[in-house]
Amino acid sequence: MAEALKQNITLQFFTIDCRNTSIGDETKAALREAITQATQRNQALRAQRHSLARLARWSGDTGFQSLSEGEFRKRVFQFFLPPGCKLMPVDFLNPQRVTQTGGEVAGAACAEMRAHHEVAAVASAGAGSAQSEGTVLDPAKEEQLGLALEQSMADATDRENSDLADAIMRSKSDTPLRLHENSVVVLRLTRHAQAAEVVHEILQSPDLEKCRAMVLEAGCELRPKWAGGAWLLLPLTREQFEEAGLETTPVHIIALSRDEDALRRALKAVPKEKRPKLRTENHDADGPCGASQRADAGSDDEESMARQVGSGMGQEHREEEEWFAGAASRAGSSGDRIEIAVERTFVHFPMPREDHAASVCKSAP
């Protein structure tokens, strides 16, 4: 019976009455353990089916474009759920309603997998009922039946794994993740990125409620450690993140371009003294997430601007002094001396007197 329970993949609950039987305590304990393992496994399969269904219904612009294709969804279900499982959607079990490239071949494969499951279910039910009634099967026949079931399940699993691998490779080559496209943007907070007020608005703002729900329903994280503390306002796995070659920090936000305006509205609720601006990062540029391409008006702080202006004025002033110094040296070499005076950032050239003798000191007679 324990072996039959292992082969049964649809049983959710099972109760056996061992009263007035010759079953010993050790056998009862073994049966109890086998029943518990089988039912827990089947219940986990059911929950997994629901999770896959939610994932397969995701919208096309969240990075799961390939799951919108019926054939690929069927392959995913067949990989995670046993052949012919009752939890499999009807469209994927009925070969007449499945649309795929192989057509008749795929329908035959589905029918064959369902036949394997039916044989296993009948054999499991027969073995379970025979043992529950006290009938002892021939050990040789029981062993042959077990080997046949095991071989059948192994063949079906190998075939499914091969088909799923092909489907994944085709899907991956057709729809790679490209964060530099218009659908996804990498944004940068100019200041106070880790302030409590900023974190509160990203986590609680009604403008970003759809973004947060989209991430959590997909089983992803809003601020995973492997993203360097960056905010992810779209479903993004670690594999997709690493494949894109991103290098983010806590000041970065990755979101869909359509949600950029909602993010800006949410940040307007932050007090002005701690309100950051948003810059769009160029993912293709060198350095972590590239260089800034665009900034909001007035995003540069006044102190930085003053330093830049001051440095520019200083450079121009030094160039002027060098030019005038060169002019003075050239004039001095020709015998005429020009006095240069700088007063209040203006350069003065005192005009020489016409009567050179008047400038000469005379002694008393």
pLDDT, tens digit, 9 for 90 and up, residues 246-268: 889 999 999 998 899 999 999 99
Per DSSP, the three-state class of 101 is coil
Query: Quick one: average pLDDT of 113-133?
Result: 47
Of the given ranges (161-165, 289-293, 361-365), which has the lowest mean pLDDT?
289-293
More confident residue, 169 or 39: 39
pLDDT band at 129 (very low <50, low <70, confident <90, very high): very low
Across 297-304, average pLDDT: 43
Q: Is residue 100's pLDDT more than 90? A: no
* Distance from C-alpha of 221 to C-alpha of 355, rounded to nearest angstrom: 88
**C-alpha to C-alpha distance for 21 and 24, rounded to whole angstroms:** 9
* Spatial contact of 253 and 184, defined as CB atoms under 8 Å apart: no
Neighbouring residues of 130: CB distance < 8 A, sequence distance ≥ 6: 137
How do the domains of the chain map onto residue ranges? 2-174, 184-300, 303-359
pLDDT value of residue 24: 76
* Residues 234/244, Cβ–Cβ less than 8 Å: no
DSSP characters over 197-226: HHHHHHHH-GGGHHHHHHHHHTT--SS-GG
- Average pLDDT for the chain: 67
Higher pLDDT, 1 or 306: 1
> In the structure, how many helices (H) and strands (E) does the chain have?
11, 7
pLDDT: which is higher, 237 or 174: 237
Per the model's pLDDT, the better-predicted residue between 313 and 250 turns out to be 250
Would the pLDDT of 279 be above 80? Answer: yes
Closest CA to 147 of 120, 173, 113, 166: 120
Strand partners of residue 232: 254
Nearest in space to 265 (alpha carbons), one of 311, 310, 209: 209
Q: Which of 347, 346, 313, 312 is nearest to 328 (CA)?
A: 347
Residues 6+ apart with CB under 8 A from 254: 179, 184, 185, 186, 187, 227, 230, 231, 232, 233, 234, 236, 246, 248
Whether 133 has a pLDDT exceeding 70, the answer reads: no
The mean per-residue pLDDT over the stretch 78-106 comes to 56
Taking the whole predicted model, whether its pTM rises above 0.75 is answered as no
Residue 44's pLDDT is what? 80
Q: What span, in angstroms and rounded, lies between the C-alpha atoms of 86 and 8?
A: 11
Lowest mean pLDDT among 187-201, 251-265, 268-282, 308-322: 308-322
Residue of 144 and 352 predicted with greater confidence: 144
